[in-house]
Amino acid sequence: MELFLMTVTTGLMVGGIYALVALGWVLIYKCSGVLNLAMGELTLIGAYVTLTFYQMGVPFILAVVGTLLVGILLGILCERIFLDKLIGEPILSVIMVTVGMSFFFKGVVQFIWGSDTRVFDPPVFALKPIEIGFLKVSSVYLWSFILSILLLLIFVAFFKFTRWGLSMQATADDETAALSLGVSARFVYAAAWAIAFMSAGVGGALLGNINGINISVGYLGLLVLPAVVLGGLNSVPGAIAGGIIIGLLQNLSGTYLDQYFPGGVKEIVPFAFMAVFLLFKPYGLWGWERIERV
């Protein structure tokens, strides 16, 4: 029972980080209908940017704030350079552009930072685990979970209580009606990419504190895709719930199945679960169901 509770606790905390990255997937899809296949590389860039600030002597919290600011700038630049001219073009064309962006970003990262694994030195979080009753929780998991939940709350409040957030939701619900009310679609798309860069970047920084930073952090960003599909591609609450569910599923399978199926079963199980889940709920838990009448 103690092992089970520790596995569940760790899964919840990793799931909070996954939820933060999943938010970036959902925002871009909600606003433009595009499945951004470069999210893994956005996560990777954020991890390295935070590490660079930290190695320059900037405290970790301020390094995260700096990553948020860099994420805003990079998100706007990417939308303006790569995607602005594709507004109104077939969705498949835009998705293929995001595939090209994925390879481009990966090449840029390897050119600037190389491919060796890097760690935060000195460590950001204490190495000694935190004891909660009979549970021992790694401090990096606990503080990463707290920070990711705090940022998620900030993003949700932004969408519900600010004019810009409401404009983004209006465009996602009905782009034509939003345009008729004076909402700028170009602004909404740029803001969506900026927030996607921010959420994925901070998620990458937190994941980098757990296992170090190398090119595989980009794969962890793609591992969030099952969480997005599970919650619903256009649902912000679904992204949060899906991230936590996938975090739990991954840790439980790693604890109880790795001994029978060695070789990384915890990376396979989320995708296998996604494939089976889509057979019964193709739109996810809270996704919009498309109804067509003949």
Per the CB < 8 A criterion, the answer to whether 269 and 253 are in contact is yes
Confirm if 92 and 73 have CB atoms less than 8 A apart. Answer: no
For residue 49, the model assigns a pLDDT of: 92
Residues 127, 132, 136: CA angle, nearest 5 degrees = 45
Q: Could you write out the DSSP letters of every residue in 86-150?
A: GTTS-HHHHHHHHHHHHHHHHHHHHHHH-SS-B--SS-SS-SSPEEETTEEE-HHHHHHHHHHHH
Chain mean position to CA 85 = 25
Residue-level length of the chain? 294
CA atoms within 13 A on the CB side of 115: 3
- What the chain holds in terms of domains, given with CATH numbers, is 2-280 (1.10.3470)
64: its two tokens: 């995260």
For residue 290, the model assigns a pLDDT of 60
State the pLDDT confidence band at 66, using cuts at 50, 70 and 90. very high
Cα 159 from Cα 23, distance rounded (Å)? 12
- For helices 139-161 and 163-173, angle between their N-to-C axes, nearest 10 degrees: 80
- Contact between 13 and 247 (Cβ < 8 Å): yes
Q: Categorize the per-residue pLDDT at 293 as very low, low, confident or very high, splitting at 50, 70 and 90.
A: low
Among 47, 87, 95, 97, which residue's Cα sits nearest to residue 70?
Answer: 47
Residue 135 has pLDDT above 80, yes or no: no
Of these ranges, 90-104, 164-178, 209-223, 252-266, the one predicted with the greatest mean pLDDT is 90-104
User: Phi/psi class of residue 125: alpha, beta or left (left: φ > 0; alpha: ψ in -120 to 50)?
Assistant: beta
Strand partners, 130: 137
**pLDDT for 198-244, tens place per residue?**
888 888 888 888 778 888 787 777 778 888 888 887 777 888 888 88
Give me the mean pLDDT over the 253-264 stretch: 79
Q: Specify the residue for token string 């998991």.
A: 141
Q: Give yes or no for residue 125 having a pLDDT over 60.
A: yes
Highest mean pLDDT among 69-78, 129-138, 280-289: 69-78
| Closest alpha carbon to 8 in 130, 131, 127, 137 | 137
Q: Where are the beta strands (DSSP E) in the chain?
A: 130-132, 135-137
Place of tokens 């889509």: 278
Q: Is 74 helix (H, G, I), strand (E, B) or coil?
A: helix
Do 68 and 76 contact (CB within 8 A), yes or no? no
Q: Average pLDDT, stretch 6-18?
A: 84
Residue 29's CB: how many other CB atoms inside 10 A?
22
Structure tokens at 260: 């029978």
Lowest mean pLDDT: which of 87-91, 148-152, 192-196, 229-233? 87-91
- For the purposes of burial, counting CB atoms within 10 Å of the CB of 162, is it exposed (0-12), middle (13-18) or buried (19 or more)? exposed
Tally of CA atoms within 13 A in the half-sphere of 95 that contains its CB: 8
**pLDDT over threshold 80, residue 181:** no
User: Which tokens hold the place of 105?
Assistant: 């970003």
